[in-house]
Amino acid sequence: MKRTVPLLITFIVGAVLILAEFVPHEPFGNFGEDFSLYFDIIAVFAFLLGGGNLIRVHVTKVQRKKKDWPFSIVTLVGFLGMLAAGLLKIGNPDGIQGDVAKLGSLFNDLYMFIFTPLQASMFALLAFFVGSASYRAFRAKNLDATILLVAAFVILLGRTPFGLWLTSGLEGSLSFLQIPNLANWIMGVPNLAGQRAIMIGIALGVISMSLRLILGVERTYLGQDNE
């Protein structure tokens, strides 16, 4: 029973949703959007579990004075502070009835002056990590790696004016060898072809995986071993 009921639900819901994709007649036509909404509602309630877990983990750390416990206080203050600012609409010009992110509210100030710069800083780390990853990864160890290296060079140069300056002398029938043109060709032809092939493979993989889940062949996600 413990195994059969979840599998039956998975099969029925999976089959109905596939059917709903092709049957516009009521009630099937709206199933896709309706079930998506149901999931969103469940996810919102499930957030209580996640938030509760976060508080419990960090309160335990503080209570037991585990390693780095002061940072748990920072986490708790940040979490509860933002929650209070949003729920209670602290400093909101329109009071408790106002839009939670109203300009001038504490929530909006915390979002604009703490959260947004922190987000931007984390994103900016990518610039540094691209440098260190490139230094380590682009080595001409074999033919494939060398082709990758040359392509990366062409693209890097092509995205700067130096690429055009270096090859501006190539005109007429040789203009396709200008680095910016080569870079656009690499991005628009072999790169795009490769991406499309990967996407076709992904789509087929999704079909196969979904069928395995719907038919009950794959049950690991239920926490059970497959028979």
Cβ proximity to another protein: between 88 and 137 the closer is: 137
User: Are the C-beta atoms of 180 and 156 separated by less than 8 Å?
Assistant: no
Q: Determine which residue in the list 1, 2, 26, 70 makes contact with another protein, applying CB under 8 A.
A: 26
Question: Could you say which residues in the range 78-137 bind another protein, by CB under 8 A?
Answer: 101, 103, 108, 111-112, 116, 118-120, 122-123, 125-137
Nearer to another protein, 135 or 173 (CB): 135
Q: Which amino acid is at 20?
A: A
> Which 131-160 positions form the footprint of another protein (CB under 8 A)?
131-141, 149, 152-153, 156-157, 159-160
- How far apart, in whole angstroms, are the C-alpha atoms of residue 212 and residue 216? 6
Residues near 59 by Cβ (< 8 Å), separated by ≥ 6?
72, 76
Q: Smaller CB distance to another protein: residue 8 or 145?
A: 145
Contact set for another protein, span 166-195 (CB under 8 A): 180, 184, 187-188, 191-192, 195
Which amino acid, residue 172?
G
Whether 198 contacts 190, CB under 8 Å: no
Binding string, residues 48-67; x marks residues near another protein by CB under 8 A: xxxx-xx--x---------x
Structure tokens that stand for 93 in this block: 């010009």
- Pick from 42, 80, 83, 87 the residue near another protein by CB under 8 A: 42
Q: Which is nearer to another protein, 85 or 157 (CB)?
A: 157
Q: How far apart are CA 212 and CA 99, in angstroms?
A: 45
Distance CA 155, CA 186 (A): 8
